[in-house]
Amino acid sequence: MTPEPLDALDADLRAEADRDRDPAVTPDIGIIMGSDSDLDVMAGSETGREGAYDALTALGFAEQTSYSDPPADRFTFETFVVSAHRTPGLMYTYAETAADRGIDVIIAGAGGKSADLPNMTASIAYPLPVIGVPVQEKSLPSVIGMPQGAPIVAVDAGKSYNAALSAVQILARQHDGLRDRLEALHADRQADVARVSRRLHEDGSPQFKADRE
Ligand code: RP5
């Protein structure tokens, strides 16, 4: 017997796919992960590295949490937990409905040695592009190891931030405004490097290290 919350989530995704909403009010990017324990890597965390959530919000995307009451922002993303092994039916539904729900790119992350969510999602959602994020180093072979003719784009372990930038690069081919935002973000990062470089040079290594601690 399928548990009721799983059936309900599945039905919501399928109903949304049938609604044929204006693309301006549907999420442009879908983020999925195998477990909520992946969230710090997939979204980013205050104590660790920045993640996809941080990159997307820095680029002016808003997280869409309701299909009927979308954010005012033009560009949005959604986030779900979808387990390839524990909820394969939900994975199938998510990937199969993504394009009809307005999603243009999926970012899929999973951890462990059998990190099959990204590669299976890529197979089902094809030709929608899927960017795989190995949540751990040991997940890398199973995320990128796709057979000939079954493509996935993938980033290095833990680099969901880069996956978000890649997703926006894909969208930017159709939206000039996004290209400008990507360039501005890149310029900010370059300025950060220059600021650090000048400080290291002018303070000297011992002082720089002491200030950093
Ligand atoms: C994978 O197993 C998930 O992506 C996660 O990284 C890992 C552990 O999942 P939990 O046991 O924390 O739910 O499927």
Residue-level pLDDT at 39: 98
- Strand order of the sheet with strand 62-63? 62-63, 76-81, 29-33, 105-110, 130-134, 153-154
Please say if the pLDDT value at position 30 is more than 90: yes
Residue nearest to atom 11 of ligand 1 (CA): 35
Cα-to-centroid distance, 112 and ligand 1 (Å)? 7
Q: What angle do CA 176, 162, 131 make, to 5 degrees?
A: 85
pLDDT at 149: 95
What are 61's two structure tokens?
Answer: 């995307």
For residue 108, report the phi and psi dihedrals to the nearest 5 degrees.
Answer: -125, 125
Averaged pLDDT of the chain:
96
In tens, the pLDDT along 31-44 reads 999 999 999 999 99
Residue to substitute in 31, 33, 36, 37 for testing ligand 1 pocket (most ligand atoms within 8 angstroms of CB): 37
Rounded average pLDDT over 139-146: 96
Confidence of residue 2 (pLDDT cuts 50, 70, 90): confident
Annotated binding residue at 114?
Answer: no
Residue 181's pLDDT is 97
> How many percent of the chain have pLDDT more than 70?
100
For residues 120-141, give the mean pLDDT. Answer: 98
Residues with C-beta less than 6 Å from any ligand 1 atom? 33-35, 37-38, 83, 110-112, 135
Q: Which helix (H) or strand (E) holds 188?
A: helix 176-203
Interval 84-124: pLDDT, tens: 999 999 999 999 999 999 999 999 999 999 999 999 999 99
Q: What is the per-residue pLDDT for 20?
A: 87
Model pTM score: 0.94
Mean predicted confidence (pLDDT) in 7-25 = 95
- Of 31, 32, 35, best ligand 1 pocket probe by most atoms within 8 Å of the beta carbon: 35
- Cα(76) to ligand 1 centroid in Å equals 26
pLDDT > 90? residue 213: no
- Nearest CA-CA partner of 154 in 117, 101, 197: 117
Confidence of residue 47 (pLDDT cuts 50, 70, 90): confident
Q: What is the pLDDT of residues 160-200, one digit of tens each?
A: 999 999 999 999 999 999 999 999 999 999 999 999 999 99
Q: Is the pLDDT of residue 1 over 80?
A: no
